[in-house]
Amino acid sequence: MGQPVLLRHVREPDQGEIEAYERRGGYTALRRAVREMSPEQVTDLVDQAQLRGRGGAGFPAGRKWKFVPKDAPVKYLVVNADEGEPGTFKDRTLLERDPHLLVEGIALTAYANGVRTAYVYMRREFYEARRRLERAMAQAYERGYLGRNILGTDFSLDVYVHPGAGAYIAGEETALLESLEGKRAMPRLKPPYFPAVMGLYEKPTVLNNVETLCCVPWIVREGPEWWLEQGPPQLYSVSGHVQRPQVVEAPLGTPARELIARAGGMRGGRRVKAFYPGGTSSRPLTAQHLDVPLRHEELARLGSMLGSAAVIVMDETTDMVKVIARVCEFYRDESCGKCTPCREGTVWVTQILDRILHGRGRWEDLDLLASLARNMTGTCFCPLGESVPPSLRAGLEDFREEFEAYIRAAREPVQMPVRLHLGAPAPGG
Amino acid sequence: MLSERARRDIQALRARYPVAQSALVPALLRAQEELGWLPPEAMAEVAELLGLPVEVVAEVASFYTLLFTEPVGRHVVQLCTNVSCMLSGAEAVRQRVEEELGIRAGQTTPDRRVTLLAVECLAACDHAPCMMVDERRCGPLTPEDAAQLLRELD
């Protein structure tokens, strides 16, 4: 295992200060890019590095940038620092421990895309992260890495931090743009609202996650071949029943078994029952998947996804019905209410799970949950509602006996509706 | 009802965006910093400062969980109840905190000292179980740690 890249300097207490960041090689990539490279050359490097978005969707960043029309007079860069996918805390770590890395990534990305104004949309709870980032930005303005005529060139850039106010859905890119425009964070329909062509204020907008942008200075500085040789580096947020929950940097495709070991192993020496590989929107996997490479392709094959690479580990004592119910409640509470299958589906699912947990479950509930999972898939503007079915499917397929145990132990007799023979049966009766 | 300084800050926020409405959430947060919550008069004042209809302000304010349209206590405690914290004992922390304050999550103590909120993932699972006491992140917490932190609040 080589030296970490994204986390190389996060343990240095002075890393947030510009002198320290420069001393460790910081801003050399920006210096070289604005003085010696064309914007297209910067984009090409990111493309060649096969950098994929680290926010959840995993879309190739270079390709995203190439969708942005070159000749548009006004374009924006929006940084998604709204980290909210349960179990994910790597962006917060980068923001707090190495804020200049993000500032440099923002400046490089703006340069590559011909952007003069950037907004960092940051969730409200990131008070410490915001203080650190704003301090770093002030230092960067002072040294001429941000502002007018950056490093004596004709490239200018202004960056603003924009606070969110508590809404998980704002992490979805089109909802984030609505929120940044001062509206309720409700997703837009794609097409036509692909941010790259019709984003903030309906102008072309580059939208990337914090970690994605933190990769850019390294790619520009060391080159795409070097970047790929490092793994490429990927941050996994490892939490749950591990000894030392932490952000682990490892080559993309590292299996959960190794990530768990690097987080100190399991608490109390217990065994793994299940783990979410990519936040609670991904399908949880079981102990038999501990050696699967945690990479986009392999996880998609298992009906799961890398998502935000939040690995939430659950040991053999975990009640999966309770975990899945908690996950579904989360999506119920965070649904923006725009699309019916998500708004209603999340409520029905949680009602059913609640009665199963409270000794009122019915055998037919299992099929009903499966049917709801089907009807919530592919029927909404955004992926929020679709984040419920992966947990339900895993529950019904891999942990079915736990659901059955609850239903078998149901204390109260189930109330059956009285069927009146007055012609056609009542709907659903 | 806002101070001159808050009004000036809100005008400065307005200048960051090509469209006034973009400054709405930051402006409401600024008003809330001063007043603790957003009474209707404050929303009306923000509406006037940004040249927006007051209904738009109310519509937006009611969407976001950290914009308080009801009075809150001097301190706001946000207790994470999401999966990583739940696996690390958040339920016991919540019970102990509720017992210490004599209220349930979502309520404010009768002396208006503390509002307790059960919240979703705070992106601090490396500190699970965790909570935010105003702007401070605290964790990992035992139930007793959490109770002690609350006792220390003025």
Is any Cβ of chain B less than 8 angstroms from the Cβ of A309?
no
Q: What is the CATH number of the domain that holds A239?
A: 3.10.20.600
Nearest by CB to residue A160, choosing from B16, B24, B137, is: B16
More confident residue, A427 or B50: B50
Contact A193, A153 (CB under 8 A): no
**What is the C-alpha separation between A296 and A252, in angstroms, rounded?**
9
Residue tagged 């340069």 (tokens): A111
> What band does A1 get if pLDDT is binned at 50, 70 and 90?
low
Residue-wise pLDDT tens digits, A66-104: 999 999 999 999 999 999 999 999 999 999 999 999 999
Are A360 and A302 in a shared domain? no
Query: Looking at residue A410, what is its pLDDT?
Result: 84
Is the predicted pLDDT of residue A418 greater than 90, yes or no?
A: no
Residue-wise pLDDT tens digits, B36-64: 999 999 999 999 999 999 999 999 999 99
Query: Looking at residue A2, what is its pLDDT?
Result: 76
Who's near B131: CB < 8 A, 6+ residues apart? B77, B78, B79, B80, B93, B97, B122, B138, B139, B141, B146, B149
- Three-state secondary structure call for residue A108: helix
Are A285 and A219 in a shared domain? no
Is the predicted pLDDT of residue B4 greater than 70, yes or no?
A: yes
Nearest by CB to residue B67, choosing from A165, A168, A280, is: A165
**What is the C-alpha separation between A108 and A110, in angstroms, rounded?**
5
Contact B44, B54 (CB under 8 A): yes
Are A336 and A386 in a shared domain? yes
Contact A219, A45 (CB under 8 A): yes
Are A326 and A367 in a shared domain? yes
Determine the residue of chain B that is closest to A245 in CA distance: B126
Q: What is the CATH number of the domain that holds A42?
A: 3.40.50.11540
pTM surpassing 0.90? yes
Residue A362 lies in domain: 320-408
Contact A179, A167 (CB under 8 A): yes
Q: What percent of chain A shows pLDDT beyond 90?
A: 93
Are A310 and A352 in a shared domain? no
Is the predicted pLDDT of residue A420 greater than 60, yes or no?
A: no
Query: Looking at residue A65, what is its pLDDT?
Result: 97
Are A273 and A324 in a shared domain? no
Q: Look at chain A and report how many structural domains it folds into.
A: 3
Are A238 and A348 in a shared domain? no
Residue-wise pLDDT tens digits, A2-31: 799 999 999 999 999 999 999 999 999 999
Are A135 and A282 in a shared domain? no
Query: Which residues from B are below 8 Å from A201, CB to CB?
Result: 18-19
Are A394 and A255 in a shared domain? no
Q: Is residue A425 part of a domain?
A: no
Domain boundary residue, one of A263, A296, A315: A315
Mean pLDDT rounded to a whole number for chain A: 95
- What chain B holds in terms of domains, given with CATH numbers, is 4-61 (1.10.10), 75-151 (3.40.30.10)
Q: Report CA A193 to chain centroid distance, whole Å.
A: 20
Determine the residue of chain B that is closest to A323 in CA distance: B83
**Which of the 8 DSSP states describes residue A284?**
P
Q: Is residue A388 part of a domain?
A: yes
> What band does B94 get if pLDDT is binned at 50, 70 and 90?
very high
**What is the C-alpha separation between A297 and A300, in angstroms, rounded?**
5
- Three-state secondary structure call for residue B2: coil
**What is the C-alpha separation between B92 and B96, in angstroms, rounded?**
6
Å between B149 CA and nearest CA of chain A: 19
- Is the ipTM higher than 0.85? The answer is yes
Are A36 and A168 in a shared domain? yes
Are A263 and A369 in a shared domain? no
Is any Cβ of chain A less than 8 angstroms from the Cβ of B126?
yes
